[in-house]
A and B are shown apart, each in its own frame.
Chain A
Amino acid sequence: MQRFDPPTVKPGQRVTAWLFEQMRRAIYACRLIAGENVRLVTTPSGTVISFINSFPVSCAWQVSLQGSTAATLRPGSINKIEATIKGTPLDGGEDGKPAPVLEFGKPKLSKEGRGYICAEITCDPDDDWNILTVEIVQVADPDTEDGSASDGLPNASGGSAPLSGNRSRHPLAMLLKRKDGRLDVEQFTCFDLQHRVRLAADQKSASRHFFW
């Protein structure tokens, strides 16, 4: 470790250019540099030292926004079927591709400024309603056919509504548009999921989908 001690002078000694330079070096040598888990905010009146939370939180399905038009998700599965974005697994897959990005452009939001990142499943009714695919989508309402905002109240009976094509959606995270236009995300689901369908009275179509 090279230490730069500030030079000292005797009474009456002139401060030469060399001394001045030594003092400058000593001051520079004392500058704080942010290391691991440390954040420094340098202001004209001083430097604020913060220690970043040493408990990083990460979970399945964790949504990270990229600006306000795209998001990435940590891997998650439903009935052990891996979720994908346009067919690419959330971890990029076995061939080492980069993690896919959900590009949703201008987010679909309700009139209250809420939107959802959902896992949209497609089931096979001929195979005991087993899941065929799990695709990540961004919608304004999980229970409408096209993901647009609904006019009425939310689903009153709970569970996820059945959609055409034997689909259904489970919300993973909520998007909130703030007053200043900023987009925030609130994580909802943090674990890999299980799924079962409840059949309608005809015993052929689905009446509700349940996730847990």
Chain B
Amino acid sequence: MNLIVYASQKWNELAALVRSAWPFPGKNARLRYNGLSGVIVDGIAGDPPRHPWQMRCVFEYLDPAVAKYQGEGEWRAYVKPGFVNCRDTYLAMPQDWPDKPARGGPTRDVPLTEETPPFLVLTGSFRDPVASQGMSVSDDGEIIYGAGEGYPKFFEQLGVRPAAVAGSDPTPPSDPERTREIRAVDVVLDQPRIGSALDVETLDPLTDGFSNVISTTYTDAVYIARGGRPRLYTTAKFTPIEQQLIDSPFLGLPMNSGDPQVDERKIATIYLVSPPDAGSEAVPDQTWQAYPANEVFWNLLHATRFVAPAKTPEPLKLNTGLGLGILDTLANAYLAQINSGFDEISQYLNQADMRGKFWSI
């Protein structure tokens, strides 16, 4: 009988072919291995497209050498790059990052588009939206607690405990089904810009023709120091900054005596929800879940309300030479009051307002 003998190489090729056919789950795929019955392949719904400023929040352990679920960690937010005036947005990261995961100390600006993406540290900045907001004392000497800030209705369905109510007892009606804690932190965009202020200078009316001069000064100190870079930062609760410091340095007129040289826009609020019965003092750890709530979904443009510096008015002066010039001097002293009044009104009405606006594109 003739036996056909296959070379071992051929057999091994066949084995390699079979081995390479073994399926593994990749992106958006789920495989269920059923022994000799085969493998069930499921397609999972694809991720929706990510928008600028979209947050991905993760709890990360600080020391990779320590076993997971034991070491110290922090909540971080990674941000899908968003742009202002088509320029990079930056995060302040430790100077030696990413070579050394140093914390604290000097920082440097890292663009969101960096290949090793920078992140916002959320831990340490949380507020408690269900806690009572302050207290006051009534005329009767009774302590009145403020209501809690509250949270979007969505979290009621997740079983987050109700917010504090205003009154002498801030404890809300108990609900055994709602015992999860909630914390929140705001992410804010900060755009440096040119600032402006009004200055009052006292002059000699006899020689200068003015008794006072109000002038507008422009400063780009913050803009230059920051390199004009927009930056994201976290804060427990965003409160719009006072855009202009209103002062009354002259004759009780409310005037712009300086501004913060930045414009800000809240980008998102990140909520973290605890497991049930965590307790009101609980600190978010790896057992909590993050829910970013974006307010901005598109890239931004920003511009200041540029106001050209007003031309300083020429003072009214008399140069007649009468009375050896003494009459001119006296007349000019009187005119100085008129000149100053005109200048004050002119500068006051035209005082520069450099506050800017954001709009989406």
Contact = CB atoms under 8 A, between A and B. Distances in A.
Interface in B1-53: 3-4, 6, 14, 16-29, 31, 41, 43-49
Interface of B: 3-4, 6, 14, 16-29, 31, 41, 43-49, 81, 83, 85-88, 113, 115, 193-194, 220, 223-224, 227-228, 298-299, 301-304, 306, 308, 356, 359, 361
B21 A157 contact: no
B113 A176 contact: yes
Contacts of A39: 26-27
Nearest to A179: B115
B228 A16 contact: no
A57 interface: yes
Given A153-B227, A201-B308, A55 B48 contact: yes
Contacts of A27: 14, 17-18, 21
B21 A142 contact: no
A74 to B, nearest CB: 15
A186 B113 contact: yes
A211 B301 contact: yes
11 contacts: A27-B18, A45-B20, A48-B25, A51-B26, A55-B46, A55-B49, A154-B87, A157-B194, A157-B306, A188-B83, A211-B301
Nearest to A154: B228
A207 interface: yes
A208 B4 contact: no
Interface in A150-208: 153-159, 171, 174, 176, 178-179, 184, 186, 188-191, 193, 201, 207-208
Contacts of B18: 27
Contact of B83 (A51, A53, A55, A174): A174
Contacts of B87: 154
A51 B29 contact: yes
A46 to B, nearest CB: 4
Contact of B47 (A14, A53, A190): A53
A172 to B, nearest CB: 8
A186 B24 contact: no
Contacts of A49: 23-26, 29, 31, 41
Nearest to B111: A112
A123 to B, nearest CB: 18
B85 A158 contact: yes
Interface of A: 14, 16-17, 20, 23-24, 27-28, 30-32, 37, 39, 41-55, 57, 114, 116, 142, 153-159, 171, 174, 176, 178-179, 184, 186, 188-191, 193, 201, 207-208, 210-212
Contact of B115 (A23, A52, A178): A178
Given A51-B43, A51-B44, A179-B115, A46 B22 contact: yes
Contacts of B113: 174, 176, 184, 186
B17 to A, nearest CB: 6
A51 B220 contact: no
B319 to A, nearest CB: 31
Given A32-B21, A45-B19, A153-B228, 7 more contacts: A44-B20, A51-B29, A54-B45, A57-B49, A153-B224, A158-B302, A208-B303
B298 A158 contact: no
A52 B4 CA distance: 46
Given A47-B23, A57-B49, A211-B361, A154 B301 contact: no
A190 to B, nearest CB: 7
Contacts of B25: 48-49
B1 to A, nearest CB: 9
A53 B302 CA distance: 33
Given A142-B86, A208-B303, A156 B22 contact: no
Contacts of B22: 45-47
Contact of A50 (B3, B28, B304): B28
A210 B301 CA distance: 9
Contacts of A24: 14
9 cross-chain pairs, A with B, having the tightest CB-CB distances, nearest first: A158-B303, A50-B26, A171-B86, A51-B28, A46-B22, A53-B46, A54-B46, A50-B27, A48-B26
Nearest to A46: B22
